[in-house]
Structure 1
Amino acid sequence: MPKRKGDCQAGAGAVKRKYDVVVLGAGAAGMMCALRTGGLGRSVLVLDHAKAPGEKIRISGGGRCNFTNLHAGPANYISTNRHFAKSALARYTPRDFLALVEKHRISWHEKTLGQLFCNDSARDIVRLLLDEMRAANVTLELQQTLGGVEKTESGFRILVDGSTVEAAALVVATGGKSIPKMGATGLAYRIAEQFGLPLVETRPGLVPLTLDPLLLQKLSTLSGVSVEAEVRHGKTAFREALLFTHRGLSGPAILQISSYWREGEEVQLRLEPDIDVLERLKAARKANGRQALQTALGDILPRRLAQFFADEMNLSGAMADQSDRQLSAVASAVQAWVLKPAGSEGYRTAEVTIGGIDTAALDSRTMQAKAVPGLYFIGECVDVTGWLGGYNFQWAWASGHVCGEALGGV
C-alpha cells in the first residue's frame, strides 16, 4: 500500500512536504495518474479528505466494478467538444487497463455490450491501484482538509491541515458533484474558477427520472415492473431495461437517456422493441378469436403493464371483435408511449456529473490548463461524460494515464 500519513513510513515528523507532483483526489483518475507519474520517477503525493481511497470504485457495478468497456470510443462520450477525448482514449485503451487487471490476476467476466466486471469484488481494483502506487513510491495521505491552493514562481503551494506542501505541478482529480454522500464537493470547479478556467454548466447524469404527482399516481400500479424498452430523446435512443419505480422511471435505458434529457422535454418509450406488437396481436386474433384482448396483450408485456393499458384504454372484448384500427391503437400506445418527466433524482443518486471544466481550456494530449502551466484536470471534473457501462472508468484511466505520462516527461 502507498505510504500514508500516520504510517511508520510516513509519520508526522517524516512526511516530505515538497514533491514534484501533488494529486488532489484518490479516486480512479487520481490514482491512475499518480501511479504512472511515480512510475516514471517523479515524487508524488496524493491527498484526499476521505477515510479510504477509491470509494466510488468500491460501490460501482453492484460491488463488482464495471471497470471498463471494450467498445469505449469518442462516440460514447458527451462533451461540448466531441473530439477532445480522442487523444487520451486512443493512447490508453480498454485493452491496456485489462492487461493491468490480468497482471494482478484479478478474475473478470464480460457482460452485455462489452462491459467488463470483476468476478469477486470491486475492492480488487482498489487494491490493484494501491499496489501499483506503492511500487511507484507514491505517498497517500487520507482524511486531509484542504485549506487552499496558491500559485508560486516554482509551482504551487497547497495548504492542508495547517501545514504547507509545495509542488512543481498540481493535478485536480476530485470528481464532480454526483453522490455527495461519498464525499463529492465540487472542489475542482472552485479551483478552476480560482485560476480563471471556464466551466460548462453542470447537471446530474446517469440518473433516474421523476414524474409529477398526477402521472405518478396513474402509474403507481407499475412500481417494480421491469421491461425491455427503447427509450428515445430526439435522435438519441438506448435499448436496455426500463424500471418503473415509486418515484418515476429508472433502469439502464432511463439512466442512459437522462444524460441527454433536459427539464420540460419528453421521452418516447418503445416497450418490447424487438417485438412487432401489432403483428403479434393480429396473429393472436387469428389463432384464438375468443381470447380476451387484455389476455393477448399479457402474453407480450408483463401482466401489470398489460392491465395498465387495458384500464387506460378501456380495452374489452374478444380478439375476434377487434379491428385492425383498434389493434393499431393498442400497439401505438405500447410502442410510441410519450412521457414528460418532471425532473431527476439529482446528484443524490446520479452516477456522474455532466459538464465541468471546459475542454477548450485544456490540452487534450496532457490535460494541462493552457493558461496555467503545471495545473492539470482529469477524470469526472472535466467536461467529458461517458455512457453507462464502464465508459466513465475508461475515461478516468485514460485521462489519468496521459496526464501521468506528461508529468513524467514521456
Structure 2
Amino acid sequence: MAEQFDVVIIGAGAAGMMAAIEAGKRGRRVAVLDHAKAPGEKIRISGGGRCNFTNIHASPKNFLSVNPHFCKSALARYTPHDFIALVDRYKIAWHEKTLGQLFCDETAKDIIRMLLTEMKEARAVLRLGAQIQTVEKTVSGFRIVTADGAIDCSSLILASGGKSIPKMGATGLAYKIAEQFGLPLVETRPGLVPLTLDPVQLESLNALAGVAVGAQARCGKTVFEEAVLITHRGLSGPAILQISSYWREGGDISLNLLPHADLAGVLKAARKQNGRQALQTALSEPLPKRLAQFFAEAAGLSNRPLADLSDKAIDAFCLTLKDWVIKPAGSEGYRTAEVTLGGVDTKALDSRSMQARDVPGLYFIGECVDVTGWLGGYNFQWAWASGFSAGQVA
C-alpha cells in the first residue's frame, strides 16, 4: 500500500525546501525526497561557506532564458526583500559585499537551519537517502516508487537541480522526468564556469598563472567588470564566470585590462618625466608586474626606454591591453560549473505557478528550469521565488 501525501517534492535544495514550506503553510501534507545524506548541500558550500543568499538588485535582466520574460512573475511575487525579512526574523546576521550581494556573517548552515525549522513548522516530512526508481502518472496524480516503497500524491514538484557539480549528487533527474511526460528541453550546458585554453595558449601564459587583475570581460555585446584570474588551466575569476554563460564554443572573448585608465596618457606622462624608464617598468604601476612584463615582451618592447616610443607606438601598444582577444578552447564543464544553463523549456510551464501546462499537478522549479541567473546571489533568488510560486498552488 502506497503512502499518501498531497505534495511530493523531489529535491531538498533551496527551491525544494522553499516550495515545501509554502505548500505546508497551506495545510498540504508534504514530503520532500532527496538521495543525498543532508539537505541544502549547495547552500552549504555557496559563497565560500557563507551563502550568497540573494542579491538586492535581482531583476529579470539578470537572468538568461530562451524566454527572458518568463521569470518576471515569480521574481515579482517573491522579492529579495521577502527573503531578507525571513532571514531577519531568524536573527541571522548578514552583510552586503559588492554589487548587491548578500552573505551570512557566520555560516551558510544558518540558512539551512532556518529552512529546516520552517519546514518542520509547516509539518513537511523530509526523507533523505531516498532513491527514486520510477515516477508514474495515476488517475488522481502521481506515484513515486523508491527503494523504500511507493508514495502517491496529487502534486509532484521537481526541484532536483541541474547537472552542475556531479560530485555533490547532481543527476539531471528532472530532465528525464520532463522528457517522460513530453515536456521539451532547452539544450543544457555548464554556466558560471572557468574557461580553458589550448596547450599553446597555456604555454604562452604559463608565467602568469595566479595573476589576478580587475578587468572588463566582453562576449558579443555583453560586458562584465570584475576580477579575472589566470590559472594553470585557463581563465577564472568572477568576470570570467559571468561571461562564460554567454560564450559558446568556437567564439572569442575580449578583456579590457584597464577599462577606466587613460593608459596612453599615463605612459606619455611617464615618458616626459623619465624617458629612460623602460616600458614594462612604467606599466607595472597600473598593472601587476608579471602582466606588464608579459605584454611588453609580447610587443617586443620589454627593454625599450619610453623615450624611444612615439605617440603612435604607445597608442598602438595600449590598444592591445584594452582589447586582449582570447579564444577559449572550452570550459571546465559541469565538474566546477556553479549552474546549468538551459533545462525544462519555459514554454511548457505556467510562469505564475511553474506547473506544466499539459500535465496538471506536475511542477518544475529552480535550476532545472531554463532560467539561469548571473553570479552573485541571483540563482538563489530564483530558487526562492520559483519555489514560493509552486508552493502557493501545488
In the superposition, the TM-score normalised over structure 2's length comes to 0.99
Deviations 1:282-308 (A, max 9, x none): 121122222111100111110000111
How do 1:206-245 and structure 2 match up within 5 A?
206-245=192-231
Q: Which residue of 1 aligns with 2:382?
A: 395
Secondary structure, in 3 states, of the residue corresponding to 2:5? strand
1:384 maps to which of 371, 386, 390: 371
How do 1:7-406 and structure 2 match up within 5 A?
17-315=3-301, 316-406=303-393
CA distance in 2, matches of 1:16, 1:36: 24
CA distance in 1, matches of 2:268, 2:228: 26
Structure 1 regions of 5+ residues with no counterpart?
Answer: 1-14
Deviations 1:156-178 (A, max 9, x none): 00101141100010000000000
Give the conservation status (yes or no) of the 8 Å contact 1:229–1:272.
yes
CA distance in 2, matches of 1:97, 1:365: 18
CA distance in 2, matches of 1:287, 1:132: 66
How far is the alpha carbon of 1:107 from its aligned partner? 0.2
210-219 or 289-298, which deviates more: 289-298
Give the conservation status (yes or no) of the 8 Å contact 1:147–1:162.
no
Amino acid at match of 2:326: L
Give the conservation status (yes or no) of the 8 Å contact 1:227–1:272.
no
CA distance in 2, matches of 1:141, 1:272: 52
CA distance in 1, matches of 2:249, 2:271: 41
Give the conservation status (yes or no) of the 8 Å contact 2:228–2:239.
yes
Secondary structure, in 3 states, of the residue corresponding to 2:341? strand
CA distance in 2, matches of 1:264, 1:192: 30
CA distance in 1, matches of 2:156, 2:262: 56
Task: State the identity %.
Answer: 67
Amino acid at match of 2:296: A
CA distance in 2, matches of 1:317, 1:291: 8
Distance change in 2, residues 1:57/1:16 (3 Å): farther
Q: Which residue of 2 aligns with 1:3?
A: none
CA distance in 1, matches of 2:365, 2:130: 20
How far is the alpha carbon of 1:233 from its aligned partner? 0.4
Give the conservation status (yes or no) of the 8 Å contact 2:93–2:104.
yes
205-214 or 293-302, which deviates more: 293-302
Give the conservation status (yes or no) of the 8 Å contact 1:232–1:267.
yes
Amino acid at match of 1:317: R
Give the conservation status (yes or no) of the 8 Å contact 1:67–1:117.
yes
Secondary structure, in 3 states, of the residue corresponding to 1:406? coil
How far is the alpha carbon of 1:247 from its aligned partner? 0.1
Secondary structure, in 3 states, of the residue corresponding to 2:73? helix
CA distance in 1, matches of 2:261, 2:25: 53
How far is the alpha carbon of 1:272 from its aligned partner? 2.3
CA distance in 2, matches of 1:346, 1:264: 15
In the superposition, the TM-score normalised over structure 1's length comes to 0.95
CA RMSD of aligned residues (A): 1.0
Give the conservation status (yes or no) of the 8 Å contact 1:52–1:142.
yes
CA distance in 1, matches of 2:90, 2:258: 41
CA distance in 2, matches of 1:386, 1:16: 38
How far is the alpha carbon of 1:16 from its aligned partner? 8.6
Deviations 1:171-227 (A, max 9, x none): 000000000001000000000000000000000000000000001000000000000
Deviations 1:332-362 (A, max 9, x none): 1111110100000000000000000000000
Give the conservation status (yes or no) of the 8 Å contact 1:19–1:167.
yes
Amino acid at match of 1:213: P
CA distance in 2, matches of 1:389, 1:212: 29
Give the conservation status (yes or no) of the 8 Å contact 2:372–2:379.
yes
CA distance in 2, matches of 1:366, 1:288: 67
Structure 2 regions of 5+ residues with no counterpart?
Answer: none
CA distance in 2, matches of 1:279, 1:97: 47
How many residue pairs get matched?
A: 393
Give the conservation status (yes or no) of the 8 Å contact 1:178–1:184.
yes
